[in-house]
Copies of this chain bind each other. A is one copy, B any other.
Amino acid sequence: MELDLLRSLAVPAETRMLLLVMDGLGGAPRAPGGPTELEAARTPNLDALAARSVCGMLEIVGPGITPGSGPGHLALFGYDPLEHRIGRGVLEALGIGMELTPLDVAARGNFCTVDAAGRIADRRAGRIATELCQELTARLDGISVPGAACIVRPVREHRFVAVFRGAGMHDALSETDPQHVGAEPLGVRALDPAAVEAARAVNAFVAEAGRRLADQPAANMVLLRGFARHPSLPTFKELYGLNPGAIAVYPMYLGLARLAGMAPLPTGPSVAEEFTALEGHWAAHDFHFLHVKKTDSTGEDGNFDAKVAAIEEVDAQIPRALALKPDVLAVTGDHSTPSALQSHSWHPVPFLLFAANCRPDAVQHFSERACAEGQYARLAGKDLLPLILANAGRLTKFGA
Contact = CB atoms under 8 A, between A and B. Distances in A.
Contacts of A88: 400
Interface in A237-285: none
Interface stretch (A15-23, A61-69, A109-117, A198-206): A61-69
A390 interface: yes
A168 interface: no
A386 B69 CA distance: 20
A357 B383 contact: no
A101 interface: no
A399 B63 contact: no
Interface stretch (A157-165, A170-178, A316-324, A368-376): A368-376
B64 A389 contact: yes
Interface stretch (A135-143, A146-154, A344-352): A344-352
Copies, count: 2
A387 B346 contact: yes
Nearest to A379: B63
A246 to B, nearest CB: 19
A378 B62 CA distance: 13
Given A82-B5, A338-B359, A397 B66 contact: yes
Contacts of A378: 375-379
Chain A binding surface SS class? loop
B65 A346 contact: no
A29 interface: yes
A171 to B, nearest CB: 14
Interface in A318-373: 338, 340-341, 343-348, 357, 359-362, 368-369, 372-373
A229 to B, nearest CB: 14
A298 interface: no
A143 B368 CA distance: 63
28 contacts: A5-B65, A9-B65, A33-B360, A63-B379, A63-B380, A63-B384, A63-B387, A64-B383, A64-B385, A64-B386, A64-B391, A65-B386, A65-B390, A65-B398, A66-B395, A66-B396, A66-B398, A67-B399, A68-B397, A70-B399, A91-B399, A345-B357, A346-B387, A346-B390, A347-B359, A348-B375, A362-B369, A378-B378
Interface of A: 1-2, 5, 9, 27-29, 32-33, 36, 52, 57, 61-72, 81-82, 85-86, 88, 91-92, 338, 340-341, 343-348, 357, 359-362, 368-369, 372-380, 383-391, 395-400
Nearest first, the 8 closest Cβ-Cβ pairs linking A and B are A64-B386, A68-B399, A64-B390, A71-B399, A63-B383, A346-B390, A64-B387, A28-B359
Given A63-B383, A67-B397, 5 more contacts: A1-B62, A5-B82, A32-B52, A64-B390, A70-B400
